[in-house]
């Protein structure tokens, strides 16, 4: 007893905390693309720690609940409805057997999370149930008629959030991702960084859980080829085209493109919520500032 998927949506996957330690085998950590929304949804569901939940992208699924549960929903605005009625934002939702949850194409942001009290009953693989979409390893991509089992629920009281901890990241017509210098920054021509941070890029439809791909100003690249090196979530690679791309949660474990910069961890939520055709700029900060911003965000996200 649990949940039957009536419609799967555009891309709905089971996501969990990132899976660490497999890069040497060529597998990145996967996990939530919008980590703050992932944490908020789990908190609203009443989970004392993050548990496997659903990551919804662009078009949401339609879910039939065959048993009672409590859910927490956060992230992009999908106009969620329970049995045809709008549900309130940022609070726990109690669901009865036979109820249907559905929404519309996202109105703002790109990804949302549906967490369940007690989590989904799905086996962990190397410490996590996160789905690595490109390889198909880990949890699963949700399809029509998928049956999802719910774990044993807890006994926590309903919860609320006053506001999203990341709400300022959605403001303005052009989003800003803050970056620190990458390991190959000194190999680029001197003007490359200022051109990069001064340009406005547009997100393309080719973006995915592997990388955020953009169109816009082409940057000068290092003249000499590089030996393949490790890659990571947030790395800003510059391929031969000169158009930068930002690696995401399902990134390749290694790459041969030079890395000019790296998006700071405090902005991973904004990175994961960028929509196709949105404009984005990159702002350069120091490593000290990046650490301070992460500490500030961690304090804001203390949901105990």
Q: Are residues 102 and 188 in the same domain?
A: no
Q: Which of 147-156, 166-175, 240-249, 283-292 has the lowest mean pLDDT?
A: 166-175
> Same domain for 285 and 157?
no
pLDDT band per the 50, 70, 90 thresholds, residue 246: very high
Question: Using an 8 Å Cβ cutoff, are 21 and 70 in contact?
Answer: no
Helix (H) or strand (E) holding 287, with range, is: helix 287-300
Identify the pLDDT of residue 145.
95
Q: Which of 108, 100, 130 is nearest to 13 (CA)?
A: 130
Are 154 and 179 members of one domain? no
Same-domain pairing of 7 and 144: yes
Q: What was the pLDDT predicted at 89?
A: 87
Indicate the range of 98-107, 195-204, 226-235, 238-247 predicted with least confidence.
Answer: 226-235
* pLDDT band for position 239 (cuts 50, 70, 90): very high
| Last residue within a domain, chosen from 163, 183, 198 | 163
Domain hosting 236: range is 168-300
State both tokens at 100. Answer: 């249907």
Strands of the chain, DSSP E: 2-7, 11-15, 53-57, 62-65, 69-77, 81-82, 85-86, 93-95, 100-102, 108-116, 147-149, 174-181, 201-203, 211-215, 229-230, 235-237, 245-247, 254-255, 259-263, 279-284
Look at residue 167 in the predicted model and tell me its pLDDT: 54
- Output the pLDDT for position 61: 97
Helices (H), 19-96: 35-45
Same domain assignment for residues 203 and 157: no
For residue 244, pLDDT over 50 is answered with yes
* Structure-model confidence comparison of residues 299 and 60, the more confident one: 60
Same domain, 227 and 264: yes
The whole-angstrom separation of Cα 228 and Cα 37 is 33
DSSP 214-276: EESPPPP--SS----EE--TTEEE--TT---EEE-TT--SEE-S-EEEEE-GGGHHHHHTPPT
- Among 102, 137, 163, residue at a domain's last position: 163
**Inter-residue contact 166 to 113 (CB < 8 Å):** no
244 and 200 within one domain: yes
| Residue 301 predicted with pLDDT over 80 | no
For residues 164-184, one letter each, b for 16 or more C-beta atoms within 10 angstroms of the residue's C-beta and e for the rest, the string is bbbeebeeeeebbbbbbbbeb
Please report the pLDDT score of residue 164 as a whole number.
Answer: 63
pLDDT at position 171 over 70:
no
pLDDT digits (tens, 9 = 90+) for 255-283: 889 999 999 999 999 999 999 999 999 99
The answer to whether the predicted template modeling score (pTM) of the entire model surpasses 0.85 is: yes
For 69-109, what is each residue's pLDDT tens digit?
Answer: 999 999 999 999 999 999 998 999 999 999 999 999 998 89
What is the per-residue pLDDT for 168? 46
With 70 as the cut, is the pLDDT of residue 60 above it? yes
Q: How many domains does the chain have?
A: 2
Residue 65 has pLDDT above 60, yes or no: yes
pLDDT at 37 over 90: yes
Q: Do 121 and 150 contact (CB within 8 A), yes or no?
A: yes
β-sheet bridge partners, residue 267: none
Residues 206 and 228 in one domain: yes
């Amino acid at each position: 007893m649990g949940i039957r998927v009536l419609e799967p949506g555009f891309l709905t996957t089971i996501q969990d905390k990132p899976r660490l330690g497999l890069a040497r085998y060529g597998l990145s950590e996967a996990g939530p693309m919008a980590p703050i929304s992932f944490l908020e949804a789990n908190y609203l569901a009443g989970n004392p720690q993050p548990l496997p939940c659903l990551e919804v992208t662009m078009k949401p699924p339609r879910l039939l609940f065959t048993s009672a549960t409590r859910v927490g929903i956060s992230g992009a605005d999908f106009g969620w409805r329970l049995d045809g009625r709008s549900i309130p934002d940022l609070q726990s939702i109690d669901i009865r057997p036979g109820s249907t949850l559905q929404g519309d194409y996202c109105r703002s942001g790109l990804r949302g999370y549906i967490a369940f009290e007690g989590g989904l009953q799905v086996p962990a693989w190397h410490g996590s149930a996160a789905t690595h979409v490109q390889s198909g390893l880990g949890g699963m991509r949700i399809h029509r008629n998928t049956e999802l089992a719910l774990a044993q629920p807890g006994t926590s009281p309903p919860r609320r959030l006053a506001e999203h901890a990341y709400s300022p990241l959605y403001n303005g017509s052009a989003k800003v991702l803050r970056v620190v210098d990458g390991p190959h920054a000194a190999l680029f021509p001197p003007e490359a960084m200022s051109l990069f941070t001064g340009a406005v890029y547009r997100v393309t439809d080719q973006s995915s859980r592997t990388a955020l791909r953009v169109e816009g100003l082409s940057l000068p690249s290092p003249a000499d080829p590089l030996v393949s090196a490790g890659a990571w979530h947030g790395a800003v690679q510059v391929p031969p085209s000169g158009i930068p791309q930002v690696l995401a949660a399902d990134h390749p474990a290694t790459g041969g493109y030079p890395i000019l910069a790296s998006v700071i961890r405090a902005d991973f939520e904004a990175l994961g919520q960028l929509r196709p055709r949105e404009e984005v700029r990159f702002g350069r900060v120091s490593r000290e500032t990046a650490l301070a911003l992460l500490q500030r965000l961690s304090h804001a996200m203390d949901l105990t």
